[in-house]
Amino acid sequence: MRPELVIAHEWIGLNVEVVKSVNPCEVGIRGKVVDETKNTLKIMTEKGLKTVIKKGRVFRVKFAGKLMDVSGDLINFRPEERIRRGLILLKRGKVRRW
Amino acid sequence: MKVDFVRFKPSLTYDYDNFVVFDENPKNGEFLKGYVVKARSSKELLQKLRRAKMDWFVGVVGDLNVLKYAVMRWRVDLILDFEGRVLDYSLIKMAREKDVAIEFSFARFLRCRGYERSKLFEEVVETLKVIKKFDTPFVLTSGAENDYELRPKRQILEFFEYLGADVERAESWIERLVRRYTDPNYIMDGLEIVGEDP
């Protein structure tokens, strides 16, 4: 699977880590995504369930055999719209295609 | 990353890491390749865009209608700076939506004198205000056609900063544009490959 399809893929069940955030207390939150809304990700960490806003954060995620940094602004929509909006973003954006 | 956009193969390098050499027929060489699309109509623009290879930076030269059409094309990376270029409000706004950069070259100021130069100053200051309003991608380059028009990066940035350009933003746009073609781990803005999954 192509790595860029992570923004169109289902995120529940993926292991993520917050690497950049406007709230410095959120940096380092690491765990499995258990739920998702339009604006937030719910991550199950060792210390319990954490709700992290998507906008303005950068998430490190393992996908298609690669470790990737994904900006939360790119996934800031409802999970049910993920496939359509993600593919549109890839199609219309200036994506490296070679 | 210090990269300059020029129209010839430079022999001086100053403090630049690399150059993007724009030509109507890009040739293989030590520098990055830029493809200049000079078109008088949208039909001609499309024909020439089909020739563009995937590792070429694509810059467009043409009148306002051609530029408006060019901005809507995915393959176009930037609007080059040339004599007689006209940019209006709607074009700059569309360039923001379609992620097409606008080039401002220092060489244009070197090539003109007197009244023409003062008009150019006025035009650039106004355009930079609109670009700042919409946060449109823009790049600050020498636009040199020979070695005598080349200038160090610092000099170009200081000059355009005096005219009201946000030079840090310009540097980030140029880096983003160059990384798109040179960095294999860069996919798009906000999406990068950091490493292999251990």
Alpha-carbon gap, residue B149 to B19, rounded angstroms:
14
Q: Cβ separation of B191 and A74 shorter than 8 Å?
A: yes
Q: What is the pTM of this model?
A: 0.84
Which residues in chain A touch residue B195, judged by CB atoms under 8 angstroms apart? 66-67
Look at residue A4 in the predicted model and tell me its pLDDT: 83
Q: Cβ separation of A62 and B197 shorter than 8 Å?
A: yes
**Closest-approach residue (CA) in chain A for B97:** A93
Query: For residue A33, is it within any domain?
Result: yes
CATH number at residue A46: 2.30.30.210
Query: For residue A98, is it within any domain?
Result: no
Query: For residue A18, is it within any domain?
Result: yes
What pLDDT tens digit does each residue of chain B (198 aa) get? 789 999 988 887 788 888 999 999 888 888 899 999 999 999 999 999 998 888 889 999 999 999 999 999 988 999 999 988 989 999 999 999 888 999 999 999 999 999 999 999 999 999 999 999 999 999 999 999 999 999 999 999 999 999 999 999 999 999 989 988 888 888 888 888 888 876
CB atoms < 10 A from the CB of A19, how many?
18
CB atoms < 10 A from the CB of B178, how many?
21
Q: Where are the domains of chain B?
A: 3-192
Q: Cβ separation of B99 and A3 shorter than 8 Å?
A: no
pLDDT tens, position by position, A52-95? 999 999 999 998 888 999 999 888 888 888 888 888 888 777 77
Look at residue B123 in the predicted model and tell me its pLDDT: 93
| Nearest CB partner across the interface for B190, out of A66, A71, A98 | A71
Domain tally, chain A: 1
- Between strands B101-105 and B191-196, the pairing is unpaired
pLDDT classification of A6: cutoffs 50, 70, 90: confident
Tokens of B108: 């244009």
Instruction: Enumerate residues 54 to 113 of chain B having a beta carbon within 8 A of any beta carbon in chain A.
Output: 54-55, 74, 77, 99
User: Could you tell me if A39 lies within 8 Å of chain B, comparing CB atoms?
Assistant: no
Angle made by CA atoms A89, B168, B193, in degrees to the nearest 5? 40
The ipTM estimated for the assembled molecules is: 0.83
Look at residue A5 in the predicted model and tell me its pLDDT: 87
Query: For residue A97, is it within any domain?
Result: no
User: Could you tell me if A95 lies within 8 Å of chain B, comparing CB atoms?
Assistant: yes
SS3 B145: coil
Asked if the model's pLDDT at residue A97 lies above 80, the reply is no
Look at residue B79 in the predicted model and tell me its pLDDT: 94
User: Could you tell me if B196 lies within 8 Å of chain A, comparing CB atoms?
Assistant: yes
Residue A27 is part of which domain span? 3-92
CATH topology of domain B3-192: TIM Barrel (3.20.20)
